[in-house]
Amino acid sequence: MTTDSAMTDEAVRDAGMEVRPAAGHIGAEISGVDLAAELDDAVVAAIRAVVLRWKVVFFRGQRLDHAGHVAFARRFGDPVVLPRRGKASPAGFPEIETTADRLELGGRFGMEHDEWLRRRRHTLLRGWHCDHGARVDPPAATILRAETVPPYGGDTTWSNLAAAYAGLSRPLREFADGLRAEHRLGVGYQSRPGDDAYVRHLLDRQVATLHPLVRVHPETGERILYVNGYYVEQIAGLSRPESSAILEMLLEQAVRPEYTVRFRWEPGSVAFWDNRATIHLAPGDTAHLDHPRIMHRVMLAGDVPTGVDGRASEPITGTAPGRW
């Protein structure tokens, strides 16, 4: 599969769908398809082509229940079954993780919701992430369904890492092509003074991988600037000051506004994104609102990233391909 626009347009026409791009480099809204229905192969192929082309796609007004959500996801890959899920996740559907922000974050490890946000996002770039990026085989894609959303606020933003790579100067692309970086769970967290229950939790459950700084997309062949603010700790072979300066520059490049799209959720909205080629920013503007935000997520199993030199990512600790 490639991101050739003519091929994508032809697949969409054959499937009888309508695709409306949402921004110049990333994001498209698909209409004319009922995700709860029995989708034929042409429709599935067209949706896959649009996801690869636009990196994240949006569907509105869908009537998916938990079973339908899982069934839809299975048309595109193998859903991940997490060994531990949040307490709001539905029984009987181990593929689904429910994120109810005010329910899940508030009170855990002795911190309320607003303190969680302060400690996890103490810089402007820290909140940007791909799902489970510290694993050696991060999920290939995520399908997120909105059940309850605030009347305002709560938007999610995505960035196209293929466009971000292409936007670098040629010397910088060639420099980045040969680098690798350590991705580690919890590096974006700013600890509390004294004893911190969450730090102890992280130390007991370390997950870290050495990933290529530029990943080759396994389906499109695109080069992906494989950085994010939440997991990336250190560029291998560079000093701390060198690594810090280069990572900050690359992260700023990765989330430049022209490479992003922002989505306003409604009940029944579904977002389907390529977790290999994007990073996203969950909302930070709802903690003070007295409105719930309940979302259901299914992730699809991914492969081990490969760099420009053909070398695969290497597990450091707490991670192995296919073992969740």
Positions annotated as catalytic residues are: 129, 131, 280, 297
Can you list the alpha helix ranges (DSSP code H) found in the chain?
A: 5-15, 41-54, 66-74, 101-104, 113-120, 161-166, 170-177, 197-204, 240-254
Task: Name the β-bridge partners of 29.
Answer: 20, 58
Radius of gyration of the chain from Cα atoms?
19
Q: What CA–CA distance (Å, rounded) separates 181 from 286?
A: 33
User: Which of 263, 268, 298, 297 shows the shortest CA–CA distance to 283?
Assistant: 263
Q: What CA–CA distance (Å, rounded) separates 95 from 311?
A: 31
Q: 22-49: string of b/e by CB count within 10 Å (b at 16+)?
A: bbebbbbbbeebebeeebeeebebbbbb
User: Is residue 162 a contact partner of residue 272, using CB atoms and an 8 Å limit?
Assistant: no
